[in-house]
Amino acid sequence: MQNHEDSIKDLTGYLKKSAEADSGKSAERLRKLVGQEKEPTLPSLFTPIRVGAFNLAHGIVLAPLTRMRSEMPGNVPGPAMVKYYEQRATPGGLLIAEATFVSRQGNGGFGSPGIENDEQAAGWRKVVKAVHAKGATMVLQLWHVGRVSHTSLQRNGEIPVAPSAIDAGLGVLLEGKPGPATPPRALETDEIAGVVEQYRAAARRAKDAGFDGIELHAANGYLIDQFLQDGSNKRIDRYGGSIENRARFLFEVVDAVTKIFPSDRVGVRIGPSNTFNECMTAIRRPYFPTWPRASEIARSPTCT
């Protein structure tokens, strides 16, 4: 029989060999990992990417930026806007044009461009032509500001509209300087279909002007967002109350514009946690995914 010292010696030798074997295996695993490491697997900004219907050469996108450079009076895109967008177009790139009001009722700033009439569409056509000549794709952001407006921006000095008649003490960009927004009136239930039609007609003009798609501005406290958020929507009809009802206006607009552009050419900009323009919900949680048909919006090419 082995004595105590021999047993300890054998055990020590066994542990030493096991450690050496494990060390060798670890080193071999490390060598394999190092050998497998080549280029990063994540795409870079310059990797081609498909967004909705658009095959883009890179992932750098021009965001919609308010410039207020349209020709006045008339809110018509002119040479300054042609130059601005042409300078930023790159082969295979994507440009999202600035917020463009769907009607005078939705105008939120002096000098903001519109897509309400043929003259404005003709101005945009020149912009799109210049961008396409550089090999880029261009979509138009459709905008209705709701209560973020002023009588001087409205046709015939009318009162701005909103889901509810709430004066949130907002500001608006007027001719020459900022000023206070005019307290809004609440849209009547039977008026809402007419506002949805404004979006559909704007989408039609955008398509006729040559735009490759559109983005609905449903964030930042503008009209669609005002319907979505319970802080600005106190309605008791089918457009207020539950999340489903507050989302109804957005989905009606989506249905209208996707009759003009395929859904893979329509984006929706949302801002669930954004409180800009005093638009907020009482419960601060990301409730947008709970909406019915939310998956449809998530599949929009420029949903942000």
Which residues share a beta bridge with 171?
A: 180
Q: Could you write out the DSSP letters of every residue in 4-34? A: HHHHHHHHHHHHHHHHHHHHHHHHHHHHHHH
Classify residue 162 by burial, with Cβ atoms within 10 Å: 0-12, 13-18, 19+. Answer: buried
Given this model, what pLDDT does residue 112 score? 98
173: left (phi over 0), alpha (psi -120 to 50) or beta: beta
Question: Exactly one of 85, 199, 222, 239 is catalytic; which is it?
Answer: 222
Q: What is each CA distance from 134 to 51, 59, 90, 92, 204, in whole angstroms?
A: 19, 17, 6, 9, 24
Taking every pair of Cα atoms in the chain, the longest distance, rounded to a whole number of angstroms, is 111
At which residue do the structure tokens 């323009």 appear? 277
222 is catalytic: yes
d(CA 138, CA 245): 32
Given this model, what pLDDT does residue 292 score? 46
d(CA 249, CA 230): 14
Q: How many residues does the chain have?
A: 304
d(CA 134, CA 85): 10
Given this model, what pLDDT does residue 303 score? 37
> Which of 68, 74, 72, 48 has its CA nearest to residue 59?
48
Strand 161-162 and strand 61-62: the pairing is unpaired
CATH placement of domain 49-298: 3.20.20.70
d(CA 223, CA 220): 9
Domain spans of the chain, in order of start: 1-38, 49-298
Digitized pLDDT (tens) for each residue of the chain, 304 residues in all = 455 555 555 645 554 555 555 555 655 665 555 555 555 566 789 999 999 999 999 999 999 999 999 999 999 999 999 999 999 999 999 999 999 999 999 999 999 999 999 999 999 999 999 999 999 999 999 999 999 999 999 999 999 999 999 999 999 999 999 999 999 999 999 999 999 999 999 999 999 999 999 999 999 999 999 999 999 999 999 999 999 999 999 999 999 999 999 999 999 999 877 777 776 665 545 455 544 454 444 344 333 3
> Which of 181, 175, 139 has its CA nearest to residue 160?
181
What token pair was written down for 207?
Answer: 């398509």
> pTM for this one?
0.82
